[in-house]
A and B are shown apart, each in its own frame.
Chain A
Amino acid sequence: MAYRLVTRTETSLRAQLLVPLAAIVLTLLAGSVLFSLLGKNPLAAFHAFFIEPLSTRYGIGEVLLKMGPLLLIAQGLAIGFRARVWNIGAEGQLLAGAMAASALALHFDTSESAWLLPAMVCVGTLAGAAWAGIAAWLRTAFNANEILVTFMLSSIALQLLYYLVSGPLRDPMGLNFPQSALFSDAAMFAPLLDNTRVNNSLFLALAASLLAWIFVQRSLSGYKLLIGGLAPQAARYAGFSEKKAVWLGLLIGGAAAGMAGVGEVAGPLGLLQRSISPGYGFAAIIVAFLGGLHPIGIVFAAFFMALIYVGGDMSLVSVGLPNSSATIFQGLLLVFYLACFLFANHRLQKVEIRH
């Protein structure tokens, strides 16, 4: 008996739904092997990972809080990824947004204006887009690989952040510790649920998801990026420029990440400090792929990844799992997803072997 791989003529919706589910099941299986090897009861571990966070109001709030930036960044990245524009520096774009918004919040530290927060969101979004725009410019003008440039720009953004918190934006009353003063209330997102940390910035992520959906499904530019990604030749014949796709892909991704940065400093943090993001920019890459680069899929993927993050912390305290197990979980999830994805656009065909 032999099989051969045949490209599906049309992508099957059923396959697209089954792929992430299969990846999750396989990850859980591999996870239980791993947990057993570590001498932990897999069921207790899974309970801590997936049930505990959702069994308290605070836990749900934390999952939603984590989901916000992941969702926002992943929606932005997916648009670029669809056009094969590989922005892996969302972490730096997030920092750029956080720094710009913080500068504004600290400059108008006594302001009570209702416009302060919207202004911060705008400035942060623009800063994120501008930071990614550097990579777009270097790619379009000089052909410099955007994977590397966006990544290097992340490292540079981190040093810029260190510089700002230990110099220009340092809290003058803070005994020279490397962090800014606390933001005023006008510079903060209002809480969404009582007794949790989740705040209104989640609506930005949801609105962005809606926009992404409209952009991809309805608009002409979304169509162009889709074509550019799936079939570069076709795109070229249709007269779409690659340059435009690069600019659009990176700017949208950067803008979304910048906005997510504002959500962090004006949300759970309330100030600018050395560590702002626990790797949202990288985790969002996994979210984007796991969601099938589809705006609706990404919503579910972001929720699931947020659950893994929060569950990882829970299992740390309640089961005693090493913190790296959350990292391994994320890696496994993407590995299995990519393996299963083969069957979303290919199918196995039985080949008759003639003797």
Chain B
Amino acid sequence: MIRPAFVLLALALAATALAALALGSAAIPLASVAQWPFSPETLSPRDRLILENIRLPRLVLGLAVGAMLAAAGAALQGIFRNPLADPGLIGVSGGAALGAAAMIVLGGDHLVGPLALPLAAFAGAVTATLAVYGLGRRHGMVSPPSMLLAGIAINALAGAGIGVFSYVGDDVQLRQLTFWTMGSLGAAGWNTLAPSLPLMLIAMTGLALLATRLDVFSLGEREAFHLGLDPRMMVRLTVGLTCLGVGAAVAAAGPVGFIGLVVPHLIRLSLGAGHAVLLPAAMLAGAILLVGADTAARLVAAPAELPVGLLCSLVGAPFFLWLLRR
């Protein structure tokens, strides 16, 4: 059951990646794409340029962001012990976007170095998550309704903050900000990837290493302590890694909603709740979903492209409603 599922996910990932490289407003034949790693010189200079400098970084970013958001969703759901937790829903992405917005407008050109944006997004993500975690607790237990309400409030606050920054920002900053609030892989290039990719890889590796502890934590904070886990340390570690990764993802691609909510849920339904399987499977599925959605977003209105965050919300929001009604 589990091994075939991973084979299937890997095959789907390969297929999606090939499609993402081949398809677009300027189609490149699949045969050329398949040949490119071995003999790049056989491609036409134009195809090579598109492949190496536009589609490949975009594919890598899509894979990383999709996997990161799914892993973050799974980990946050484990820590909040609630399948409704999602980086977008509980304000992590909102906080990260606000941090990024503040850095774009207030930081000025000299400050917005390659690491400044991910760090600002990280700071925003940490603040939002800690606020939600603190406000969502009643008598030492995370209470899901308070947590969701706190998330709504934090999201509203972050939205208002981004509004203020758009109001005071100049035209160039405004354009940059709009990109953040919609979520898109369009700005992908090797220079945006350089700071974000390592941070996301570190966060994902760290979260994958916490799998057993997340299992134990699912029993409850007190039970986790009885089994030998320091619950506070565990929360700090998970929230820290999640914020690091989501901060980096949001800094590079803007807030992309619902992947963190939908993907872990689907994996749990089909492969069970154990995090040692859930986390890697969710990462694969998240990567497939985001790259697939991005390819679709590039094709639907070609040569123009839909922001992929918009597309994810269009599909994710009805799924979320179904989840609530179930």
The judgment on whether A and B are partners is: no
Residues of B within 8 A of A (CB): none
A binding-site residues for B, Cβ under 8 Å: none
